[in-house]
Amino acid sequence: MRFGTEPLKEYKKKAILTLVLSGVFAGALLLTFLFRKEGPSPSQRKDNPSPIARQEMKIPEIGELSPAAETAAKSKRTSIIEFQRVAEEALQILPKKRDVGDMRQEEVHQTPSIFVQKIQPLIKINRIVRENPELKGAAFTFYKTCAVREDFMTAVRARCLNHLRKLATESGQSLDLSPFPEAVRKLSEFIPF
């Protein structure tokens, strides 16, 4: 039987444990409170996330390439491998017929603004070719691939064919137009280069 000092020791142990636990709990509460006070309000968080959150939440803008391809597109000197990366991504982003989907009458009455954003990769390709004439051969392949894609919006195909014709003219080559439908050929001539 352990009577006498034994219950007192137990009591002390429990008291110390309770104090420690209370301290930890209070500390946690205090920290939570402090973070809530210093952090932005929910509405602020939505519009203005912290730099870390912004990095984690980074969603590419419409028509924007991946960071690596974006760097290549912005660089004055672009290698053939970098160009191919930009070109591959461009083919994925450029406006497609399926994008019209369930667009409302109001959205398509004029050229949908999302399509004007989505042709950004084509603009970047054009820029790369202007700054890196040695890539004209690779660009030729890109424009041709783009102009024959049946799932692309006709206007995209026509613009690609327009650039293809321009490259062919500049290099004195004749261009076989048989792979391109009549509508695309005709529209590619609508705006002279």
Q: Which residues bind another protein (CB under 8 A)?
A: 97, 100, 103-111, 113, 115-116, 119, 122-123, 126-127, 130, 153-156, 158-159, 162, 183, 187, 190-192
Residue 113 CB, nearest distance to another protein (Å)? 5
Q: Which structure tokens are listed for 115?
A: 């399509």
Residue 183 CB, nearest distance to another protein (Å)? 7
CA gap 17, 14 in Å, rounded: 5
Residue 107 CB, nearest distance to another protein (Å)? 7
Contacts made by residues 178-181, CB under 8 angstroms, sequence distance 24+ = 179/144, 179/147, 179/148, 180/147, 180/148
| Burial zone of 126 (CB within 10 Å; 0-12 exposed, 13-18 middle, 19+ buried) | middle
CA 39 and chain centroid, separation: 28
User: Among residues 15 and 123, whose Cβ is nearest to another protein?
Assistant: 123
Residue 86 CB, nearest distance to another protein (Å)? 15
Residues across the chain: 193
CA gap 166, 57 in Å, rounded: 41
192 three-state secondary structure: coil
Residue 193 CB, nearest distance to another protein (Å)? 9
